[in-house]
Structure 1
Amino acid sequence: MTLPTPYPMPPRHKGKLAINTLRSQGRPTAADIDRFIARRQVPIVEGPKCTFLYRGEADAVAVRHRIVNQPQHVPMKKIEPVDGLPLWFVTIELPAHSRVEYQIEVRTGAAYETFNDPLNPHVAHSPVGSSSVLQAAGYETPEWVLPQADARPGEMIDFRMHSRALRRMTHNRIYLPARFRRSSEYPLLIVHDGDDYVTYAAMQTVLDNLIHDLDMASTIVVFSNPGDRLREYPNYSPHAGHLVRELVPAIEEQLPVLRRADARCLMGASFGAVASLSTAYRNPGDFGNLLLQSGSFVFTDIGSEHGGGPAFDPVVKFMNRYRERPRKVADRMFISCGVYEPLITHNRSMVPVFESTGAQVRYVESRDGHSWENWRDRLREGLSWVFPGPQKLVYE
């Protein structure tokens, strides 16, 4: 196991916080508040201190975030100006490199409204909506998630096939790397929730950049998509059968992929990680690599109550059985998880279990939550470890 890189606290901010300087000057005017906000990026990051702001009439205002084991509803205090709208604020302390998604909650009378921070332009998107993003001290969006002018783009091809196992038409997209040649042979990566990885984790751009920079081997990638993911992903035999007996053979028939386990990888996040793990478990020796992000590896040591709702019942049954009798499901496993998400304990607990089977495990933690941008930010480390390119191999 590779231990996670420690994240030090940022240097203490010297001097008075900006919000306290404003408060110490007496009741501000509307113009004072206008200038205060205009001169700063909101939330205001001063060392480990992060100050959230909201301006408007309300009976109560709060920040709602998703940091596990912390109060996720944080009330804001009000500054009443001489004229104009009041300013609400709250300051929280975060370690360096933290990235937190949040929203503002406003109560007026008995009515509540929750929305993205109107003062913060940073927004993260997902299939269930969007959230504002706090980028704490030290966090930077990786440059390799942004389009690079000199990186030749790969080609994306729609690939549909009827699945007898799933009894439905499947919708996939196949990524062919730049400089693809049928005379060459390529590793094969199958990505669960494929369209979401492309849309919310910029994965096509990431692949273009990593392959161009020689961090990752030129790879054929199948972006697979579920029908009912809550049914098909948690240890569902027809899903595993579709991947192994239908999808992989179809790809091997049409494209020049290496027909070896060590050149195949299954990948997914959350329930997609469970689908990857359970498919490899059901088909030992077919996949030499797994890339699992924030896996929903929920289990119970005593009893059957897990708190995840009915959707997690088949997950818990599978994980409990696996923990009782673990066996190697892949030779190499890359696992990542955010320390701010509820699944961190389960992921940490599974690492020694996987290692006990003889698998080579690389485990990475981040100061982030259960989010697509967290999974995006870990792609370089995961993909370049699973299928390293020439540049990566030189330094390793």
Structure 2
Amino acid sequence: MQAEVRGDGPLEFRLPDPDRVYSRVRLDAGLGTAGVRPELAWADGVWSVEVALPPLHRVEYGFEVTQTVLDPGNPARIDTGFGDRSVLELPGYRPPAWLGREVAAGTTTALASGVDGVTAALWSPQDLPDDVEAPLVVVHDGPDYAERGLLTRYLTVLAADRLPVRALLLTAHPRELLYAASDEYAEALVTHLIPSTKQRRATSASIAVGASLGALAALHAQWRYPGTFAGLLLQSGSFFTPETDPQESGFARWGEVTGFVAEVLTESAAAALPPVAITCGAHEENALNNRLLVHRLREVGITVSHTELADLHNFTCWRDALDPALRELLAAAA
């Protein structure tokens, strides 16, 4: 447990939790007020909250923590990246048909990214020589997409259907900064990461894939460097606006994100974007800002497919929406 006073400013309370064992943390403290006990937010392995400096000489405090307990009577589990969860599949749900296909696994090779805070790996289907040209899918949060969203499993299906694709799997840390409309990251991606990969493998068109902030980073890179991608698959993108997302106003790069999204929603440069596929959970917070982006892109004549699933903001939702969205983008870019 940690607490500190920042000069004459707020009092910050911090509770380390690198494995995110807790699902909720609330401050239990006598602060000389009758207000609601503040909730702590988790980021980079730590729960934290800032409160106004109280009119006291000392503060007695603790943390109320809630741990997630899985349903012992339900063996269906899923790794969310924030801990396991029990799963209940409701009537009407059908997993993608491609999950049942038997296909040969591909290979993943670690790459030296040459960019601070970014790790990279290259996935290729079996028996695809390095000098044979193929599309490159540039994937933000790539290892999570491969493990939890089964993206590379889907790419093996495409390869079996004679549509071989390589994937550049990227991880950024801290993603809350690098993926959030960062001009520095966009420059590194477009001028270094992608060209260095193309030097290693023969590449035709490049398609960007991302979810949440990763989708924002993909759109931002294309916006700053037109012509980089032949298509964009944007899943549950964090396209925040003050009107649709006031609950996110405390996000560290709120101004940068909303400023960039405002450009896309108002400037004529949007008409130069490549074909876009947008998918989202129909009942998640980002559904509203995703619909707003779809409307804008269609308004300026961009080819846009829009898919909403009866789900929320998670990798299963994004996995289930890969087909036919990504297949169609790759076909259009060929």
Q: Under TM normalisation by the shorter chain, which class is it?
A: 0.7 to 0.9
Distance in 2 (CA, whole Å) between partners of 1:379 and 1:350 is 19
Does 2:321 align with 1:368? no
Q: Does the CA contact (< 8 Å) of 2:177 and 2:253 recur in 1?
A: no
Does 2:124 align with 1:176? yes
Distance in 2 (CA, whole Å) between partners of 1:225 and 1:329 is 28
Structure 1 pair 112–290 and aligned structure 2 pair: CA distance change class (3 A)? closer
Q: Does the CA contact (< 8 Å) of 2:276 and 2:305 recur in 1?
A: yes
- Normalized against structure 1, the TM-score is what? 0.63
SS at match of 2:197: helix
Structure 1 pair 138–257 and aligned structure 2 pair: CA distance change class (3 A)? same
Q: CA deviation at 1:357?
A: 2.7
Distance in 2 (CA, whole Å) between partners of 1:111 and 1:312 is 28
Task: Note the 1:140-219 alignment, pairs <5 A.
Answer: 140-145=94-99, 148-149=101-102, 151-163=103-115, 168=116, 170-214=118-162, 217-219=163-165
Distance in 2 (CA, whole Å) between partners of 1:183 and 1:325 is 40
Match of 1:126 among 80, 99, 109: 80
Match of 2:325 among 382, 385, 393: 382
Match of 1:252 among 195, 198, 206: 198
Structure 1 pair 220–298 and aligned structure 2 pair: CA distance change class (3 A)? same
Distance in 2 (CA, whole Å) between partners of 1:305 and 1:113 is 28
Does 2:169 align with 1:226? no
Q: Does the CA contact (< 8 Å) of 1:160 and 1:169 recur in 2?
A: no
SS at match of 2:279: strand
Structure 1 pair 173–111 and aligned structure 2 pair: CA distance change class (3 A)? closer
Distance in 2 (CA, whole Å) between partners of 1:203 and 1:347 is 21
Task: Note the 1:270-289 alignment, pairs <5 A.
Answer: 270-289=212-231
Distance in 1 (CA, whole Å) between partners of 2:226 and 2:161 is 33
- Normalized against structure 2, the TM-score is what? 0.74
Distance in 2 (CA, whole Å) between partners of 1:363 and 1:111 is 39
Match of 1:269 among 207, 211, 214: 211
Q: CA deviation at 1:292?
A: 0.2
Distance in 1 (CA, whole Å) between partners of 2:69 and 2:216 is 31
Q: CA deviation at 1:307?
A: 3.6
Q: CA deviation at 1:178?
A: 2.5
Q: CA deviation at 1:318?
A: 1.4
Q: Does the CA contact (< 8 Å) of 1:172 and 1:222 recur in 2?
A: yes
Q: Does the CA contact (< 8 Å) of 1:189 and 1:264 recur in 2?
A: yes
Which amino acid is the alignment partner of residue 274 of structure 2? Answer: D
Q: CA deviation at 1:269?
A: 0.1
CA offsets per residue over residues 186-218 of structure 1, 9 Å max, x none? 11110000011012112222211232134xx21
Q: Does the CA contact (< 8 Å) of 2:158 and 2:165 recur in 1?
A: no
Which amino acid is the alignment partner of residue 273 of structure 1? Answer: A
Does 2:250 align with 1:309? yes
Q: Does the CA contact (< 8 Å) of 2:131 and 2:201 recur in 1?
A: no
Match of 1:335 among 270, 275, 278: 278
Corresponding residue for residue 243 of structure 1: 189
Which stretches in structure 2 are left out of the alignment for 5+ residues?
A: 1-22, 24-63
Q: CA deviation at 1:162?
A: 1.4
Structure 1 pair 137–280 and aligned structure 2 pair: CA distance change class (3 A)? same
Q: CA deviation at 1:145?
A: 2.9
Distance in 2 (CA, whole Å) between partners of 1:136 and 1:312 is 37
Q: CA deviation at 1:133?
A: 1.7
Distance in 2 (CA, whole Å) between partners of 1:325 and 1:275 is 18
Q: CA deviation at 1:111?
A: 9.2
Distance in 1 (CA, whole Å) between partners of 2:248 and 2:110 is 39
CA offsets per residue over residues 149-181 of structure 1, 9 Å max, x none? 4x1222211112212xxxx16321111123312
Q: Does the CA contact (< 8 Å) of 2:124 and 2:166 recur in 1?
A: yes
Q: Percent identity?
A: 28
Corresponding residue for residue 90 of structure 2: 136
Structure 1 pair 113–185 and aligned structure 2 pair: CA distance change class (3 A)? closer
SS at match of 1:321: helix
CA offsets per residue over residues 271-330 of structure 1, 9 Å max, x none? 00000011100001221210000011111249x955442235021221123222252353
Structure 1 pair 295–329 and aligned structure 2 pair: CA distance change class (3 A)? farther
Distance in 2 (CA, whole Å) between partners of 1:198 and 1:307 is 28
Q: CA deviation at 1:182?
A: 3.6
